[in-house]
Amino acid sequence: MKTALIILAAGKGTRMNSDLPKVLHPIAGEPLMIHAIEAGATLEPDRSVVVAGQNATQVHDTALAHDMSIKVVEQVEQLGTAHAVAQARAALTGFDGMALVLYGDTPFIRASTLERMRDALAQSDVVILGFEATVPGRYGRLVMNGDTLEKIVEYKDATDAERAITLCNSGVVACDATLLFDLIDAVGNDNAAGEYYLTDIVGLARARGLSATAVTCDEWETVGINSRAELAQAEAAFQVRARAALLEDGVTLTAPETVFLARDTAIGRDTLVEPNVVFGPGVTVESGATIRAFSHLEGCHVSRGSTVGPYARLRPGAELAENVRIGNFVEIKNAQVAEGAKVNHLSYIGDATIGAGANIGAGTITCNYDGVMKHHTDIGAGAFIGSNTMLVAPVTIGAGALTGSGSVITSDVEPDALALARAPQVEKPGMARKLFEMLKAKKARQQRGS
């Protein structure tokens, strides 16, 4: 079945008290809207439309940065959910297939749930996603007759008997696209809020003799984010589930509650993650690695048997081969570190290639930025970089070469060569004592003068 996603992302998010659109606030390192888009992406949609409102430019840019094929349309006036979906009509001109309406502030719907909705649409004209609410509150209620969904009643318009129903509406809808827009054309705004409710399409469909049903999911999947407090609660809930999934998959977390994961964090079994580690987006860690305490990883790949940290930072583009050692207070950015290489202490390696078995001494820096351009450093296999070496890129250190501690290397070093680049040591007997006496006398004069 062809599929089109319609992601509603026009809400003002007043309760967030923020200049940032609500759907762009992050959970697990990604905007809420991206979570919703990725949930729908598992259905391999033929088209995806984001309906933006407040700060449409920011929403537009974020959506296209994630997927250039997404079409962003604008809802200038917020007149209800049916009106919002109607804004996607032009972007879906000529589309023949299922339209799936998702919400940019509802990040946790599982792929399996959306697949069940798609399957249900083969037997029904309209499919609504519902959930049994622990506290139904002000959710819309699903009025069922067996497997048939008769109507959806908004809380404001519900009778006491209807408010007693605990099966609630998530707002997620699956429907043939042509039928969806036809039903929306018939939606009115004669209700307590004066808005065009998408939920009215169920009653309209039933009045035409069409079928409607509900697919249910766990309540947590339908959580919508409307405030900073709810954002924090959703983040905590995501982390609990993500940590539990890793533990189930054979990853050791010595203090799970202190480890923070991104939406796409991938960690292989028998990897050890020590306390207070943060994973940003785009991290893959293979089996049998060790990520030591207080490390931060983002946009990087760590191969089997490698060790990172403690107190290490891997930035985007860091690629560690097998059995690499990245030690304390080391930062790696846009660099490839080959098998068995070591960067053990207090170093910055950026825009570089490090050969197999190379050893990078403490305090080494690849000086990759000249104030305008970035430049590359190439360190050969088995090279030994002495402590406190400055490698001024672009520069190549040959395989098996050695740099003396404290050197500033500005030219290429041949394989197996020793490179020394530092001023000769000068010693002046007695000068230290004389200098200290002079400074102490100056301080004494200043104190008397005050």
pLDDT tens for the 450 residues of the chain, in order: 899 999 999 988 889 999 999 999 999 999 999 999 999 999 999 999 999 997 789 999 999 999 999 999 999 888 999 999 999 999 999 999 999 999 999 999 999 999 999 999 999 999 999 999 999 998 999 999 999 999 999 888 899 999 999 999 999 999 999 999 999 999 999 877 888 999 899 999 999 999 999 999 999 999 999 999 999 999 999 999 999 999 999 999 999 999 999 999 999 999 999 999 999 999 999 999 999 999 999 999 999 999 999 999 999 999 999 999 999 999 999 999 999 999 999 999 999 999 999 999 999 999 999 999 999 999 999 999 999 999 999 999 999 999 999 999 999 999 999 999 988 888 999 999 999 999 999 999 999 887
Task: Assess whether the previous peptide bond of 26 is cis (omega < 30° from 0).
Answer: no
Q: What are phi and psi of 81, to 5 degrees?
A: -70, -35
C-alpha distance from residue 371 to each of 234, 363, 367, 399 (Å) = 41, 21, 11, 29
Tokens of 64: 């296209």
**What local confidence, expressed as pLDDT, does residue 425 receive?**
85
Say whether the peptide bond before residue 424 is cis (omega within 30 degrees of 0). no
Tokens of 185: 């054309």
pLDDT at 191: 79
Residue 342 near residue 328, CB atoms below 8 Å: no
Nearest to 51 by CA among 92, 112, 107: 92
pLDDT at 362: 97
pLDDT score recorded for residue 437: 94
* 3-state secondary structure (DSSP) of residue 296: strand
Single-letter code of the amino acid located at 374: K
* 3-class SS string, 39-65: HHHCCCCCEEEEEEECEHHHHHHHHHH
- Give burial (CB, 10 Å; 0-12/13-18/19+) of 400: middle
Cβ neighbourhood burial of 284 (10 Å; 0-12, 13-18, 19+): middle
Rg (CA), the chain: 30
Residue 286 CB contacts under 8 Å (≥ 6 apart), including other chains: 268, 271, 301, 302, 303, 304, 306
- Catalytic residue set: 345
Residue type, 417: A
Burial class of residue 386 in the structure, from the number of CB atoms within 10 Å of its CB (0-12 exposed, 13-18 middle, 19+ buried): buried
Q: At 180, which helix (H) or strand (E)?
A: helix 177-185
Give the per-residue pLDDT at 423.
Answer: 86
> How distant is the alpha carbon of residue 367 from its chain centre?
30
Give the helix/strand (H/E) hosting 379: strand 377-379
Note whether 101 and 6 are within 8 A (CB).
Answer: yes
pTM for the model? 0.88
Task: Say how far apart CA 430 and CA 6 lie, in whole Å.
Answer: 80
Distance (Å) of CA 139 to CA 22, 146, 345:
20, 21, 55
